[in-house]
Amino acid sequence: MFVVAGATGHTGSVVASTLLARGQKVRALVHDRAKPAAAALAARGAEIAEVSIEDTERLAAALGGAAGAYVLLPPALQSDDLVARNRRLVDSWAAALTRAGVGHTVLLSSIAAHLPGETGPVVTVRDAEQRLPGPLTAVRAAYFIDNIAGMVGLARDQGILPALFDPTRRIAMVSPRDIGRVAAEALLAGPAGRRIIELAGPTDASPDDLSAALGRALGREVRSVRVPDEAIVPTLTQAGMSANVAGLYREMVHAIDAGRFGFEGVVPLTRGTVGVDEAVAGLL
C-alpha cells in the first residue's frame, strides 16, 4: 500500500491516479474529504485519510503499513514566515515517517535544491532532502508550467502574460503531470538508498514561449510583459501572496535571472513527455 500526500492537488492527484491505474492500494491524504476530488479517488478504490501534516500523531497513524509514501510541503502563499512554517512540516514528516517505519519516501523537491541559499522557497525543500529519513528519492522538479495558471484570465482578456524574469530566457520547466507520473514510478520501483531524480519537460521554455502557447490555445495574440524588479513584491501581494512569500519569490527570480537556478547535474536529466502546448492547453 502506498500513501500519497496532497492527493487532490496538482501532483499528488496524478501520483494517486497512476498508482490506482496500476492496481495498487492507495491511502490518499487530504485536508477535506468532502472535496469532489477526494470523492472521485474514493470511488476508484482509494482509502481517504483526512489529516493535517502538522498533526504528527495522526500523520504517523495514516502512514502506518505503507511500503512507500509520496510527501510534499503544500504551498502556503499567505504565510508570514514560510521558511519556519515549512521547517515545522519537515519536523512532522520526519517524526511520522520514522515512527511509522515507512520503507521508502518520495519527496517533491525542486530544481536548485542543491544550493545552500538565495533560492527563495526552494531552500525549504533542500531542508526536507537533508532531514527526512531514508531511503529517500528526491524528485527535483523544474519550474512549474502551471505557475501561470492565475494569469490565464489576463491573457484571455488583455493579451498580456506578466513575466517575473527575462521573457526571452529559456529555463527547465515541467508539467505537474510529468511530476506525478515520475513520482509514482519511483514508488513502484522501490527504495534505492538516497536517490535524486532531476526532472524537466521535453524542452526548456521561456515566458515568451508560454505566451505563444497561450496565444495558440486562446486563438489570440498574447505577449509577455516583464514585471520590473521593484514591482515584483507589490504585484505578487496584490495577487494574494503575503509580503514574506512574495519576497522569497523575488529572491528566486533573482537566481533565475543570474543563471544560478539550475540542476546540480549529478545524475542524468529525466525528460518528461508533456510539452508546453499540451500543458498550457490543460490550464484552460
Residue 240: all three cell numbers together: 494574494
Q: What is the mean pLDDT of residues 194-201?
A: 98
Residues 154-168 pLDDT 10s: 999 999 999 999 999
Residues 39-49 pLDDT 10s: 999 999 999 99
Residues 29-74 pLDDT 10s: 999 899 999 999 999 999 999 999 999 999 999 999 999 999 999 9
Q: pTM of the predicted model, to two decimals?
A: 0.95
Distance between CA atoms of residues 223 and 169, nearest Å: 15
pLDDT of residue 239: 87
Q: Which residue has the higher pLDDT, 149 or 19?
A: 19
Neighbours of 233 (CB within 10 A): 19
Residues 128-143 pLDDT 10s: 999 999 899 999 999 9
What sections of the chain are H helices per DSSP? 12-21, 36-43, 56-63, 82-100, 122-131, 152-158, 176-189, 207-218, 229-238, 243-257, 276-283
pLDDT of residue 45: 96
**Rg for the chain (alpha carbons), in Å?**
19
Residues 261-280 pLDDT 10s: 999 999 999 999 999 999 99
Q: Which domains does the chain have, with CATH numbers?
A: 2-144+175-200+262-272 (3.40.50.720)
